[in-house]
Every structure is written in structure tokens, then in C-alpha cells.
């Protein structure tokens, strides 16, 4: 793991952290029981197997 050689100021730390942004999940159309739903791509198999139920 990388370890900083010197202490980073509070201002620099907060500016660095402020640049990170979460991205919205990519939605994919899936047909479940004849109804088309948009679900996150990484959960498609779980919906197809019936492990998760689409809301609505």
C-alpha cells in the first residue's frame, strides 16, 4: 500500500476527495414474466434467476 512521505494539508485532502463522483449504473432492459424492466447490468442474472424482484 502506498504511504505518503509527508503530511497532506486538510485543504489539499478535501480538494482531492471532492473530485470523486459516483456514476449512475448502466441500465439494461430485461423481460421478466412478459414485462420489460430496466435493471442495472451487473444484476441481470440475479433478476433472471428470480433472486431479485423488480419494483413496480
Q: Which carries the bigger pLDDT value, residue 55 or residue 15?
A: 15
Q: For residue 51, what are the domain limits?
A: 25-55
Four-residue CA torsion sign, 7, 13, 16, 20: positive
**Does a structural domain hold residue 16?**
no
* Total structural domains within the chain: 1
Inside any domain, residue 8: no
**pLDDT per position as a tens digit, 17-49:** 888 888 888 999 999 889 999 999 999 999 989
- Domain annotation covers residue 13: no
pLDDT band at 56 (very low <50, low <70, confident <90, very high): low
Enclosing H/E stretch for 36: strand 35-40
Structural domain contains residue 14: no
Instruction: Answer positive or negative: Cα dihedral of 48, 34, 56, 26.
Output: positive
CB 33 within 8 A of CB 39: no
Q: Could you tell me the pTM of the whole model? A: 0.57
User: Does 30 map to a domain?
Assistant: yes
Answer whether residue 39 is part of any domain: yes
Predicted confidence (pLDDT) at residue 2 exceeds the cutoff of 90: no
Amino acid at each position: 500500500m502506498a504511504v505518503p512521505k509527508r503530511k497532506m494539508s486538510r485543504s489539499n485532502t478535501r480538494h482531492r476527495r471532492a473530485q470523486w463522483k459516483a456514476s449512475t449504473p448502466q441500465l439494461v432492459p430485461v423481460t421478466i414474466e412478459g414485462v420489460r424492466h430496466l435493471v442495472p447490468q451487473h444484476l441481470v442474472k440475479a433478476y433472471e434467476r428470480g433472486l431479485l424482484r423488480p419494483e413496480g
